[in-house]
Amino acid sequence: MSKAKEIKKIPIEEVIEYFRSEGMELTKEEAELIMEFLYNLTLMVIKKYFDTDQK
């Protein structure tokens, strides 16, 4: 039986500050889209490589 995957979400303000420190300015909406993409990508990788129900 597979447990629900839960990933700690990083606060959007922290994401914006990180990108700002790297020289990129993001709006809140852009940061939310980036984090949604990364969250979904992370779930796909976990499911593909670490989900024992699929092996």
6-32, pLDDT tens digit by residue? 788 999 999 999 999 999 999 999 999
- Largest Cα–Cα separation, the chain: 44
In a domain, 3, yes or no: no
Residue 16 lies in a domain: no
Q: Looking at the domain assignment, is residue 31 inside a domain?
A: yes
Nearest-angstrom CA–CA distance, 5 and 24: 31
Question: What pTM, to 2 d.p., does this model score?
Answer: 0.76
- Residue 10 within any structural domain of the chain: no
**Average pLDDT, whole number, for the chain?**
88
Q: What pLDDT does 55 receive?
A: 52
Owning domain of residue 33: 26-50
**17 located within any domain:** no
How many domains does the chain fold into?
1
Q: What integer pLDDT is reported at residue 54 of this predicted model?
A: 59
Please indicate whether residue 44 or residue 3 has the higher confidence score (pLDDT): 44
pLDDT more than 70, % of the chain: 87
Residue at 55 is within a domain: no
